[in-house]
Amino acid sequence: MDYSWIQISVAAVFLSVVITLVLSRGYGWFSRTFWRNAAVVSSLIMLFILMWLTFDTTEKVRPGAGQVPTWTVINHEIALVWDDTKRRQMPVIGEQTGFFGKVYSPEEAYALINKGKMTLQGRNCMECHQILGNGAYYAPDLTRAWLDPWWEERVMPMLGVDTREEAMKTWLQNPDKYPQGKRRMPNLHFTDEEAVALVAFLKWMSAIDTNGFPPRFGVAQ
């Protein structure tokens, strides 16, 4: 897009005020007509800008187009790296390592992540956790769950498995047996397929560039 947010904001406010004033010539600023015009004009201008930005945003959030990664990132290593130009953390896609010992084609990766997303919704994860910071506040935010050092530090030794995907899958299927902290996740009886798909979804989500949220992830101890 060719305009900065400041230009858009100033133009939106300026146009709303000027068009209202022009339409309301001859009416006092506290008349019903003046504010009726202001209501209609500002609503339409803001709505128009929202529509325009929605087209722009829709293009930019297509997987692979910008901040949202392609489906096949699940085949790769992912890391959060400090970006000194933007001065925030950015997800960086590393070399291809496969996922559960397999390299997924774009179609397969899409299907798997789709299954994961449906499972996430069907099991109502969002009513305890947050997804990209939105949801309930009882359980941890899942935006960067794939990148959480806790899997290596604690869950892998606890379960005796040696890859992160195995650890996540096994733990997701038995959260009641391996409580972390005082609040226990209920066993939602994920099938093997659903558990793998969920891990794929979480891995894909961890590669979304969220403008630096959550802040300083995994940096401090």
Partner 1 sequence: MSVFALRQPKELYESQKLAIWYFIVAILLFGVQITFGLFMAYQYIDPEFLYGKLSFMTNRTLHVNSMIVWLLVGLMGGVYWFLPLETGREVVGIKLAKFIWWVIVAGVTVVVLVYLFVQVGPGNAFTLWFINEGREYIEAPRWADFAIVAWVAIFLYNVIATALAARRITGLLGVLIFDLVALGALYSAGMHYTVNVTMDQYLWWWVVHLWVEATWEVLVGVVMGWSLMYLLGTPRKLIETWLFLEVALVFGTGILGLGHHYFWIGTPEYWIGLGGFFSALEPLPLVAMVVHAVYDSGAHRLYTVNKPALFWAIAQAFGNFIGAGVWGFMQTLPQINMYSHGTQLAAAHGHFAFFGAYVGTVMTLVYIAAQNARKHVQIPLDSKLWGWAYGLLIFSIIGVVASFTISGFAQTMIERAELGSTWNAFIRAYTHPWYANTHWWRFWMGMLFLTAYLILVWDLVTIGRKPAAAVEGAHD
Which residues within the stretch 131-170 sit at the binding site for partner 1 (CB under 8 A)? 131-141, 143-145, 148-150, 153-154
What is the closest distance, in whole angstroms, from the C-beta atom of residue 69 to partner 1 in the complex? 9
Tell which positions 59-118 bind partner 1, by CB under 8 A: 60-63, 66-68, 110, 113-118
What is the closest distance, in whole angstroms, from the C-beta atom of residue 3 to partner 1 in the complex? 8
Of the candidates 206, 80, 209, the residue with the CA atom closest to the CA atom of residue 141: 206
| 217 lines the binding site for partner 1 (CB under 8 A) | yes
Select from 11, 55, 57, 82 the one that contacts partner 1 (CB under 8 A). Answer: 57
**CB contact set of 74 (below 8 Å; sequence gap of 6+):** 99, 104, 109, 112, 113, 200, 203, 204
Of the candidates 209, 221, 201, 207, the residue with the CA atom closest to the CA atom of residue 129: 201
Angle (nearest 5°) at CA 68 between 65 and 73: 100
CA dihedral 5, 81, 207, 221 (to 10 degrees): -110
| 49 lines the binding site for partner 1 (CB under 8 A) | yes
What is the closest distance, in whole angstroms, from the C-beta atom of residue 101 to partner 1 in the complex? 22
Tell which positions 7-26 bind partner 1, by CB under 8 A: 8-9, 12, 16, 20
| 213 lines the binding site for partner 1 (CB under 8 A) | yes
